[in-house]
Every structure is written in structure tokens, then in C-alpha cells.
Amino acid sequence: MNNRQQSVQLGLKENWKQFTVLVIVNAFVGAMIGMERTIFPQFAEITFGVASKTAILSFITAFGLTKAFANYYTGRLANRIGRKNLLVIGWLIALPVPLLLIYAPSWNWVIFANMLLGLSQGLTWSSTVVMKIDLVGEKNRGLAMGLNEFAGYLAVGLMALLTGVVAENYGITPYPFYLGLAVAAIGLLLSLFWVRDTRTHVHSESNASNGPYLKQVFWETTLKNKALSSVTQAGLINNLNDGMIWGLLPILLLSAGFNHERAGIITAIYPTVWGMGQLVTGKMADHFDKKRMLFWGMLIQGLAIVALPFQLDFYLLALIAALLGLGTAMVYPTFLTTIAQLTNPVQRAESIGTFRLWRDLGYAFGAILSGLTADAFGLTAAILLIGILTIASSLIIQFRMPRV
């Protein structure tokens, strides 16, 4: 074991083969979310007669809650069980999800399927994030996270577009979910046969690290440490607005008269720009002021969301979706790079898991808050509320977070 640790080299160039495999695996992880991104509100209403915005968004609440806690326990268990083992378990949990959606006899089965999807996403996405950071060491963390999130969210966008086209031509169910079944099977096979665990890389880095050691990882990441907790609240608000966009944007577009294909294009632009933008913003996070990137990213998101309900033109909506994706691309790799920089390698997985716990609870909070607001006051009020909260989050970054 000691000889193997001595032979371990950290760096993107030194570990490019394994890193590339993990990028591909994470693309399949993202595609599992994209399967639902465009079609789910219509799937709920047409197949099960669920019309209430709150009820429709209950699937996102279920997804967000289980993903959040899976993130946290993936971080806690990564050093004990192993990153690869958690990744494989996550894919095994994902396999039945498309079948449950195809054959669900009631809406409760759909909720259960999304609980499984959230659990799977927490295990798989968290594992690939931690493993990539393990491989690259201190240098190029931002680039590593940019590549990881690029692959995941580009796949979300492409799958959202593809399922929208399939739904328009062949119906809401079952064909879009067959795509999900293929994605889960391929992701599992890649993880089983090509991914290697990275715990030896962590041991190698920790032996040479002088990184800060947190006394209470959970509480310092959540509240006490000004830098870590500022990042954590922004992560929560980021996914709160993403939960709203996931659930309400397709409803807004369809109510404005767009067909599934056009709605799918606009819906796909946001995660596609988000994903592709991180090829640039990830590298920027290695060289530029992280606080400034987080502030401007959250502010751009908030302003784009506030503008969203006042436009009915296809091209203006596409531009707003692109700006929302750009703002999100600025913050997403920067979140993880900042957390990794501020924690000791031994505690890194737990701190990232804590951040991702709160970040993905944002899905649940966003779905509940926007659903209740939409049912009580209408779509416009719900979207404006989320946009204002996002702008407020940018101000917390600006005035509470120290420079990193």
C-alpha cells in the first residue's frame, strides 16, 4: 500500500485517462436528470391528471430531499466505503427509475421513482466530483470542476432537448423513458469496468498538505466559517432557482403557446450554456477572484429570472435562458473549487458533502416555495420571488464573504 501511495501522481495530465472516464460517466449521470427536464409537467397532467403547480412540483421536492441527504452521506462514507463503490451503488439504484415511470399506476409511484433518482444522483454525481478533485490535487481544481459540470449539464440540456423532440413526435410516454433506461445501463457498465477508486490519491495529497483543519466540518461549512457558509447559502439559492426553472419554465412556455419542441429548445439552452460555459469559467476559477465570480454569477441569474415572465418572444426567451446558464456557469465550478481550497484533503469529501446537502435541499425548497406561490398568486409572482431571492444571495456574497 505504501509503495502504491508513493507511486501516485496528482494532476490532470498525469491522470487524464481516468479523468476522461469520469467525465464520460458524469455525462450519463446528467442525462438521467435531463430525461425529465422538459416533459415532466405535461407527463403529470396528461397521464395522471395532476394540475396543481404544488402537486406537479412535488416530484422535484422528493428528488431534492433524497439527493441532498445522499450527497451528505456520500461525503461521510467516501473514505470508508470507497468512491467507486458508492458510484456503482448509485447506478444500481438508477436502473429501475425509467421502468417505474413507464409503468407507474399512480402519481405516488412517480414520487417514489424520483426519490430513487435523487438518491442515485447524490451517490453518482458526488462520487465523480470528489474523485476528480482527488486526481488533480491543488492545481487545476477549477478546470477539473468545469469539465465535470460541463459534461453533466451539457448532457442535461441535450437530453432535455432530445426527450422534447421524442415527446412531440411519439408521445409523452413511454419512449422518452426508454432513453433513460439505456443511459442507466451504460453508466453502470462504465463505472463497473473502467472506473478506479481514488482513495490512494487522497492519502498522497494529505501527507503533503498544510490545508486548514476544521473542528466541526458540518457547522463550519453550514454557518460558522464566513467563506464556506457564504458559498453554501449561494449553492442553496442557486438550486432553489433551478428547482423553480425545472418545474415552472415548461409550464410557462406551454401556457404561452409554444409546442413541446420549441419549449424543449428554450428549456435546453439554459443547462447547455451552463454546461459548456464551465469549460471557461472552471479555468477562470483557478486564476480569478472567486468572490467576484460568485457575486456576478448570482446577480446575473437573479436579473435573468426577474426578466423571464415579461417576455413571450422565442428569441428573447432564448437569450434570457442563455444568460441564466451563463450566471450559473460562473458559480458552479467556483463553489466546489472554493470549498476544496478551504478544507484539508482528509475533510474535503465531508465538507463538499455538507455543501451539496444544502445546495440540493434548494431543489426541494424551490419547488415547494414556487409551487405554493404559483398556486396562490400565479406564475409571474412565483418567478419574481425566486429572482429576488437570487439577487439577495449575491448581496450576501458581496458583503459577508471574505476574498479567497
- Mean residue pLDDT across the chain: 90
Q: Is the pLDDT of residue 99 over 50?
A: yes
Q: Is the pLDDT of residue 303 over 90?
A: yes
pLDDT range class, residue 1, cuts 50, 70, 90: very low
Q: Give the count of alpha carbons within 13 A of 12, CB side only.
A: 14
Extract the runs of DSSP E, i.e. beta strands, from 309-376: none
Of 228, 18, 29, 221, residue with least CA distance to 136 = 18
CA–CA gap between residue 231 and residue 221 (Å, rounded): 9
Q: Is the pLDDT of residue 311 over 60?
A: yes
Find out whether 393 and 297 touch, Cβ atoms under 8 Å: no
Q: Is the pLDDT of residue 226 over 90?
A: yes
Share of the chain above pLDDT 90, in %: 58
Of 339, 354, 348, residue with least CA distance to 401 = 339
| CA R_g for the chain | 20
pLDDT at residue 220 in the model = 96
pLDDT at residue 363 in the model = 86
pLDDT digits (tens, 9 = 90+) for 172-224: 899 999 999 999 999 999 999 999 998 888 777 766 555 668 889 999 999 99
pLDDT range class, residue 22, cuts 50, 70, 90: very high
Which of the two residues, 185 and 62, has the higher pLDDT score?
Answer: 185
CA–CA gap between residue 262 and residue 271 (Å, rounded): 15
pLDDT range class, residue 275, cuts 50, 70, 90: confident
Give me the residue label for grid cell 471557461: 280
pLDDT at residue 377 in the model = 95
Q: Give the count of alpha carbons within 13 A of 175, CB side only.
A: 11
Average pLDDT over every residue of 227-256: 92
pLDDT digits (tens, 9 = 90+) for 330-384: 999 999 999 988 888 888 889 999 999 999 899 889 888 998 999 999 999 999 9
